[in-house]
Amino acid sequence: MSPHETARTSQEAQETAVLHDIADILRCPHCQASLDHDAGRRVLRCAAGRHTFDIARQGYAGLLAGDANTGTADTAAMVAARDAFLGAGHYRPIADALAAHAADTTAPGVIVDVGAGTGHYLAHALEAAPGRLGLALDISKYALRRAAKAHPRAAAASCDAWQPLPVRDGTAALVLNVFAPRNPAELRRVLHPQGRLVVVTPTVRHLAELVTVLDLLSVDDDKKARLDAALSPYFTPLDARSVAFRMTLGHADAASVVAMGPSAWHTDPETVRGRIAALPAPLHVGAEVTVSAYAPR
Ligand SMILES: C[S@@+](CC[C@H](N)C(=O)[O-])C[C@H]1O[C@@H](n2cnc3c(N)ncnc32)[C@H](O)[C@@H]1O
Ligand SMILES: [Zn+2]
């Protein structure tokens, strides 16, 4: 075996080992029975014995129910842009705020990130919570390929956040939801009674300088109130913190932050590139999000 093949095989073995360890908290998306890792094979099998799920070569479990709508999955280009931007550390204060919640979590269970993208925030949370396992859930195979490799204690699985999650009741100590879709009833169901939900949403001032000059989608200013209202049947709000910071972005960073966000669905990349090229460099851009914590009712 070449050194390259040996390295690949050991990475694959590590990803499968985390899935093996986390299989206890997974459940079958079809019949809700518990799932077991079929040792030696790259499959998960439900206790009812009727359903099996492949573990992709890239290390994530395929737990999407057949009728899921994958139309909102981040594309390869969006995920590559997100990886570049987050990897450069521009959103570090957001990762730090999530890591602080992970460090404070005392409930038993794993950290589940719903709509985890590349697994960037989950990896930071796991670094602050030694010994915990993490599960990245997303519907984009491009995101999951990265999330499966994001941290030695993180596993990744595909699922549709609008459908029942492939996670057993009460097994999550902490659920993260960062700029991603959320189904309140399901987030409540998977959370341990002493667990916490932490949601990150952009404020109206997030990337404001770019929104104006590049004509991007803007956020409505009652987003936080709508979030609390949607969660209120299942969750009690705890603290909500504004995380605001300034970023110095080159043109490539600005192109990435547009390409990874919701505006990517509505703008032509060439047009955006042209507009960015006409701007001064570097750009000074404000980021502002709300990091809201909730306790289950
Ligand atoms: C704006 S990105 C945020 C990703 C990550 N939380 C971050 O902040 O880096 C939204 C993520 O939600 C995922 N997504 C979209 N629709 C979904 C669905 N129905 N179920 C699960 N994930 C979904 C996308 O693939 C994408 O990775
Ligand atoms: Zn089943």
* Cβ partners under 8 Å of residue 296, min gap 6: 188, 191, 193, 195, 197, 234, 235, 236
Query: What's residue 150's pLDDT?
Result: 98
pLDDT of 1 > 70? The answer is no
136 C-alpha to ligand 2 centroid (Å): 21
Between CA 291 and CA 36, with CA 69 as vertex, the angle to 5 degrees is: 80
Is-contact 105 99, C-beta < 8 A?
no
Residue 112: pLDDT band (50, 70, 90) is very high
153 C-alpha to ligand 2 centroid (Å): 26
Mean pLDDT, residues 154-181 taken together: 98
Residue 291: pLDDT band (50, 70, 90) is very high
Query: What's residue 97's pLDDT?
Result: 98
- Ligand 1 atom nearest the C-alpha of 118 is 9
Residue 267: pLDDT band (50, 70, 90) is confident
Token representation of residue 4: 């390259």
Please state the separation of Cα 282 from the chain's center in Å.
29
pLDDT of 9 > 80? The answer is no
pLDDT of 42 > 70? The answer is yes
Average pLDDT over the chain, rounded to an integer? 94
53 C-alpha to ligand 2 centroid (Å): 10
pLDDT in tens, 221-249: 788 899 999 999 999 999 999 999 999 99
pLDDT of 281 > 70? The answer is yes
- Whole-number percent of the chain with pLDDT over 70: 98
pLDDT in tens, 70-87: 889 999 999 999 999 999
| Ligand 1 binding site (Cβ under 6 Å of any ligand atom) | 72-74, 82, 86, 115-117, 120, 138-140, 143, 160-162, 178-181
> Domains in the chain and their CATH numbers?
3-296 (3.40.50.150)
One-letter amino acid of 117 = G
- Ligand 1 atom nearest the C-alpha of 261 is 1
Ligand nearest to the CA of 26: 2
